[in-house]
């Protein structure tokens, strides 16, 4: 058995059969990280000693006949937006560069309880704001299929480390496509659960009504395994849904008889790459060969999704990030230098007799706030904070934020109507293959349009998955997106598995 070429499901079978140990598997992935992370930049931190100690403890537990958790010694990478007790959680921001949480997020606690080996924290766009993982304050992440290109974002590190065989499973977060878009760009499988399906307690918030934590892996089976470890109601999260959940690993291999697939014409408009459109339509033929029926549906308000998202998300970000001020926690400007600067300005104004200048001079506290946030946040985070603050300001709140909430309701109603006719909606995950690093960093609107097909699921609170379905002309992966009604992750996983049983796109790996 080749550890690095195996899926998480295959590795777990080897562990349970006693043909491999968690220490052997963990060491193989740590060696791979050492070999490739310098080129890819997927990890911000790697906990080698802790990972090996955890693997050894799990091996001892299994050898003594004790029951082990459902992840049974598999290494898992964590997006650096989830709190980890005693382990730096940076959100890829200078603002939290030295922040060490005093507690585990619920997802991390569940992973530990499931006997996962937490191997490292992955790079991301700062505070999960971006679609290329170039907005990280520390490093850019490169796409393993072409290191000159982006792995997507904001969970670019989480997707890239799976694609590059640095880890079999990883955790990301998805606010407007941040699991599904990187999964498509990197040729892996990534699922955004229904809002409320996975606890957000200990997830550093970007947009609280949109954020959701989810799994990435090689296959639908791998994703089903990891999802089963992290779902469930959590009293620590007031938005956590108390709903019955399936044991996804028991059902993922069951085909869906009479599957009804909806095709929204809004997902096949201008700007869609021809290779992606062809691969998507070929994927639909695979489903048809398994007995699925294809039906046209319409999502008429989806044309407003980008505009709606980029009002609601920045408004919530502006509110959530107000706490990062240099007082509560996180980065704080150099006060000694700041006070010296303030004193010098005051001296110059007094000498010039500028009374208006003296009256308008910042207080030390105001200047500390301003300099802390100016120095601690990157350009994209500042942009979204300003957009949100503007939309929430007096005179604009009703015209922007309230109106966006009304459109959001219409988008959800479009999905409700479509799901009365079909079981899932299929389409491209993104409008183009992975773009070059630096290509869109100075064009925010072009970057935002990469979320064209993904933001609607977050606005509607439904479930979505991206699975590999082809290779574009430039040798880059193509992702197929499937969307399902709320809390129908089981349906998505079964449909994804149906497709992967008939194709081998999910087995393709980049040559580094």
Question: Which residues, in sequence order, are CB contacts of 6 under 8 Å at separation 6+?
Answer: 14, 168
Same domain for 130 and 13?
Answer: yes
- For residue 160, which phi and psi values (nearest 5 degrees)? -65, -35
Angle of helix 8-17 versus helix 22-40 axis, rounded to 10? 150
- pLDDT for the residue 361: 64
pLDDT at 339: 85
User: Is 6 noted as a catalytic residue in this protein?
Assistant: no
| Single pTM value for the model | 0.96
Domain stops at, among 376, 400, 424: 400
Residue 493 belongs to a domain with what CATH number?
3.90.1300.10
Catalytic residue status for 79: yes
375 and 446 together in one domain: no
**Strands across the sheet containing 260-264:** 43-46, 117-122, 75-79, 169-174, 212-217, 189-192, 463-471, 477-484, 424-428, 260-264, 293-297
Mean pLDDT, each 10-residue run in order, the chain (512 residues): 95 98 98 98 98 98 97 98 98 97 98 98 98 98 98 98 98 98 98 98 98 98 98 97 92 96 94 97 98 98 97 98 88 89 83 71 80 96 97 95 98 98 98 97 92 97 98 96 98 98 98 86
One domain, residues 120 and 248:
yes
Verify that 392 and 446 share a domain, yes or no. Answer: no
Confirm whether 302 is a catalytic residue: no
Given the residues 6, 154, 240, 246, select the one marked as catalytic. Answer: 154
The answer to whether the bond into 154 is cis (omega within 30° of 0) is yes
Residues 392 and 440 in one domain: no
190, containing H or E segment: strand 189-192
Beta-carbon count within 10 A of 35 CB:
13
**How high is the pLDDT of residue 342?**
82
The pLDDT, as a whole number, for residue 368 is 87
Rounded to the nearest 5°, which phi and psi values hold at 110?
A: -65, -40
Does residue 419 lie within any of the structural domains?
no
Q: Which helix (H) or strand (E) holds 405?
A: helix 403-419
* Residue-level pLDDT at 331: 94
Show which of 400, 425, 459 is a domain's final residue: 400
Q: Based on the fold, state whether residues 389 and 438 are members of the same structural domain.
A: no
Instruction: Examine residue 415 and state whether it is found in any structural domain, yes or no.
Output: no
| Contact call for residues 19 and 101 (beta carbons, < 8 A) | no
Domain boundary among 400, 422, 446: 400
Which residues constitute the domain of residue 188? 8-254+434-507
How far is it, in rounded angstroms, from Cα 320 to Cα 70?
Answer: 34
For residue 272, being part of any structural domain is answered with no
Tokens of 161: 């480390």
Asked if residue 28 and residue 113 are part of one domain, the reply reads yes
18 plus 150 within the same structural domain: yes
Whether residue 194 sits in one domain with residue 70: yes
The count of structural domains within the chain is 2
Answer yes or no: is 277 within a domain: no
For residue 221, the model assigns a pLDDT of 98
pLDDT at 327: 87
Identified catalytic residue from 22, 79, 170, 318:
79
Confirm whether 480 is domain-assigned: yes
Question: Closest Cα partner for 124 from 52, 206, 48, 55?
Answer: 206
Do residue 395 and residue 439 come from a single domain? no
Handedness of CA 162, 139, 24, 70 (dihedral sign): negative
pLDDT at 21: 98
Residue 126 lies in a domain: yes
Which position among 105, 158, 170, 178 bears the catalytic label? Answer: 178
Same domain assignment for residues 150 and 225: yes
The answer on 165 and 84 residing in a single domain is yes
Distance of CA 326 to the CA centre of its chain: 27
Alpha-carbon dihedral sign for residues 177, 217, 104, 98: negative
Is 385 within a domain? yes
Tell whether 286 is covered by a domain.
no
Identify the pLDDT of residue 343: 85
- Label the pairing between strands 169-174 and 189-192: unpaired
* Contact of 163 with 434, CB cutoff 8 Å: no
């Amino acid at each position: 058995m080749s550890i690095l070429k195996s899926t998480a499901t295959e590795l777990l079978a080897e562990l349970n059969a006693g043909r491999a140990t968690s220490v052997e598997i963990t060491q193989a992935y740590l060696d791979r990280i050492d070999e490739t992370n310098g080129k890819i930049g997927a990890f911000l931190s790697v906990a080698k000693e802790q990972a090996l100690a955890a693997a050894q403890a799990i091996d001892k537990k299994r050898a003594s006949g004790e029951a082990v958790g459902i992840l049974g010694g598999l290494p898992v990478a964590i997006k650096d937006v989830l709190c980890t007790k005693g382990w730096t959680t940076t959100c890829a921001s200078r603002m939290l560069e030295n922040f060490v949480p005093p507690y585990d997020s619920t997802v991390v606690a569940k992973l530990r309880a499931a006997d996962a080996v937490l191997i490292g924290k992955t790079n991301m766009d700062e505070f999960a704001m971006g679609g290329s993982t170039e907005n990280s304050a520390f490093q850019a992440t490169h796409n393993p299929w072409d290191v000159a290109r982006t792995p997507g974002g904001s969970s670019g590190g989480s997707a890239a480390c799976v694609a590059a065989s640095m880890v079999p499973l990883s955790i990301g977060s998805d606010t407007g496509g941040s699991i599904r878009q990187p999964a498509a760009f990197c040729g892996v499988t990534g699922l955004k659960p229904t809002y409320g399906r996975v606890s957000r307690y200990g997830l550093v918030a970007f947009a609280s009504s949109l954020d959701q934590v989810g799994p990435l892996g090689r296959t639908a089976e791998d994703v089903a395994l990891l999802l089963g470890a992290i779902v469930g109601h959590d009293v620590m999260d007031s938005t956590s849904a108390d709903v019955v959940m399936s044991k996804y690993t028991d059902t993922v291999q069951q085909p869906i008889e009479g599957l009804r697939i909806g095709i929204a014409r809004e997902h096949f408009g201008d700007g869609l790459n021809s290779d992606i459109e062809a691969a998507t339509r070929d994927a639909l033929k695979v489903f048809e060969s398994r007995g699925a029926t294809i039906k046209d549906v319409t999502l008429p308000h989806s044309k407003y999704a980008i505009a709606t998202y980029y009002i609601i998300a920045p408004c919530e970000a502006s509110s959530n990030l107000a706490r990062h001020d240099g007082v509560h926690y996180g980065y704080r400007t150099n006060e000694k230098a700041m006070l010296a600067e303030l004193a010098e300005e005051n001296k110059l104004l007094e000498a010039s007799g500028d009374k208006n200048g003296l009256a308008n001079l910042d207080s030390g506290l105001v200047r500390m706030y301003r300099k802390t946030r100016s120095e601690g946040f990157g350009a994209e985070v500042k942009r979204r904070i300003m957009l949100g603050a503007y939309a929430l300001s007096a005179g604009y709140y009703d015209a922007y934020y309230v109106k966006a909430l009304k459109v959001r309701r219409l988008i959800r109603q479009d999905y409700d109507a479509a799901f009365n006719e079909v079981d899932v909606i299929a389409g491209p995950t993104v409008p183009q293959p992975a773009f070059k690093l630096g290509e869109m960093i100075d064009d925010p609107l072009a970057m935002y349009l990469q979320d064209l097909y993904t933001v609607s699921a977050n606005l509607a609170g439904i479930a979505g998955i991206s699975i590999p379905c082809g290779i574009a002309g430039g040798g880059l992966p193509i992702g197929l997106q499937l969307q399902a009604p709320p809390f129908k992750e089981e349906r998505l996983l079964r449909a994804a598995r149906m497709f992967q049983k008939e194709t081998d796109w999910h087995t393709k790996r980049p040559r580094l």
